[in-house]
Amino acid sequence: GAVVSQHPSWVICKSGTSVKIECRSLDFQATTMFWYRQFPKQSLMLMATSNEGSKATYEQGVEKDKFLINHASLTLSTLTVTSAHPEDSSFYICSARDSHRGFLSGNTIYFGEGSWLTVV
Amino acid sequence: DAKTTQPNSMESNEEEPVHLPCNHSTISGTDYIHWYRQLPSQGPEYVIHGLTSNVNNRMASLAIAEDRKSSTLILHRATLRDAAVYYCTTFYGGSQGNLIFGKGTKLSVKP
């Protein structure tokens, strides 16, 4: 099946610094990618929808200036957590939608392995 | 808010079938029903999806109610590796759709 890779798998950063997480679709093109955040024992919360070549659409309550999303190519989207604070510590997960497949031909949305962010 | 409702947890014995229910009473005619499962500290894994007809694949079967307001994921023979949180979501098939996850069902499988 299609593969979505996230990097880094885990990162520890100091409070006040910024950290970037990459999401790559390895064998398909993804016009649309999605970013989620998940706290322990909770469900995934959609943060934003990233569209290649345009601005991301953020969900209500998500600060777009704090969580910068860039989707400059059909295979890469990045999430930058700016001025990170301990409350930003979480599991961040991306998913990508295969641009060339319709649902009738099978699954089209693939998830990355997730990235653990710990802010100290 | 999530558009689906699932039981918080379910238990099964190994090698027995498991039926995981999901209610999606506000589903629209163009929304697909997707199921994912997630192991601890991993990203969700696709299980199955469907629109109106029942669907089968190597992992599971999806039974969709005639009015599409509910569906059931069927694992025919549960294994210990099937222990996970199972999420049912509805997804607009067009280019503007996104996946919103509810709380999911935590499935435990007993040997």
Q: Which of A93, A103, A113 sits opposite B49 (nearest CB)?
A: A103
* Chain A positions touching chain B (beta carbons under 8 Å): 1, 4, 6, 31-32, 34, 36, 43-46, 49, 91, 93, 95, 102-103, 107, 109-114, 116
**pLDDT tens-place string over residues B28-42:** 888 889 999 999 999
Q: Is the pLDDT of residue B95 over 80?
A: no
User: What is residue A42's DSSP assignment?
Assistant: S
Q: What pLDDT, on a 0 to 100 scale, did the predictor assign at position A54?
A: 86
User: What's the whole-number average pLDDT of chain A?
Assistant: 91
Per-state percent for chain B, helix, strand, coil, to nearest 5: 5, 50, 50
Helix (H, G, I), strand (E, B) or coil at B47: strand
Q: Which of B45, B98, B103 sits opposite A43 (nearest CB)?
A: B103
Q: How many residues does chain A have?
A: 120
Q: What pLDDT, on a 0 to 100 scale, did the predictor assign at position A103?
A: 58
The CA angle B51-B57-B60, to the nearest 5 degrees, is 90
Rounded percentage of chain A residues whose pLDDT exceeds 90: 74
